[in-house]
Amino acid sequence: MVNTPLRTSPPPFCTILPPHLLDRLLEADDPVVAAHARRTLEHDAVHRTRRRVTTVCGPTAVSSVAVADTAQCTIYDAAHQKRAPGTEVNLASSGAAGDATALRAHTGLNATLDLYLKVYGRRSIDNDGLPLNATVRYGEKYDNAFWDGEQMVFGDGDGNLFLDFTIPLDIVGHELTHGVTQYTANLTYYGQPGALNESLSDVFGSLIKQYALDQTAGQADWLIGAGLFTPAVNGKGLRSLAAPGTAYDDAQLGKDPQPATMRDYVQTSRDNGGVHINSGIPNHAFYQLAIALGGNAWARAGTIWYTTLTSSELAPDAGFTDFARLTATTARNLYGDGEEAQAVLDSWQKVGIDLPPA
């Protein structure tokens, strides 16, 4: 028997679509688009309130379970109701072969487990073999996907702007990485610590896709959510690590607001202090590092980020500079004072965070 670690505090309600994007859709001329956005925002607000209530009441112990290196993955079908988990999907049955949504969700869970286990030696998101559950077809035309602290949930999308949220593999990896952060640094979900929380999910979501596709840093698209938009949207994805602020520029969605450097850091009280916006800065620092080191980004660059995330030195209230300093220390500890350590310093300097040389 292995004891699963207690959460130090309940996790935030983490969604892939940021509130500012849905807020924009509330102003759409098309009443159907506005109605879908309103329903999604109302749903998400209820879940965020539940997370705050749980925070006041205190964390819940997680039962001890027997574990193995390969965690169990189970897919459930909510049948367009707002319920989770729903009815279990038997993927071994002949009928399940035609359930593309359930199969994509299952593939995404396993791809996430593969990267964390085979590259970083992590056994599921809690490092104790936690079984992973996911619910598909949640709600009616629900425009989001989220990690609720215990499982993944996917909406089908409205079909007008957003397709099925199981389509982009990196969305699955992004949301499950919120679980990894929950069980490690437990970064506060506000301001710079919250933006780091979102950035880490983007970074490892992208690495999970790159690992599954066997891509080098130079081959990867560095987009989060590619394939999620319908042809009606002028956009490549939800976010770009290579060029924050360029993922979409659309009449209904507006323009991607992410900054790439500290010069354009956004001061706001919305979106938990801009967690989905300012995450573009550490995102871009990682991209710069991965390109500078070359090869597979999950190797040296990813190892530096993963080791920093799981280090006891990363405090829940860490800001960008705190994280940057720790990545520089991690690079020196892992690789000495050579190429990797200098590349980390250079990457942060390119986004406006200057660190003293080793």
Residues 26/41, Cβ–Cβ less than 8 Å = yes
Please give the biggest Cα pair distance in the chain: 60
Residue in the block written with tokens 């559950």: 133
Q: 175, 198, 284, 340: which one is catalytic?
A: 175
Helix axes 339-350, 280-293, angle to 10 degrees: 140
Residue in the block written with tokens 């530096």: 304
> 276 an active-site residue?
yes
Residue in the block written with tokens 């990690």: 147
> Given CA atoms 295, 288, 321, 194 in this order, what sign does their dihedral have?
negative
> 42 an active-site residue?
no
Q: 36, 43, 178, 276: which one is catalytic?
A: 276
Burial class (CB in 10 A: 0-12, 13-18, 19+), 207: buried
Residues 241/224, Cβ–Cβ less than 8 Å = yes
Give catalytic residues, as residue numbers: 175, 276
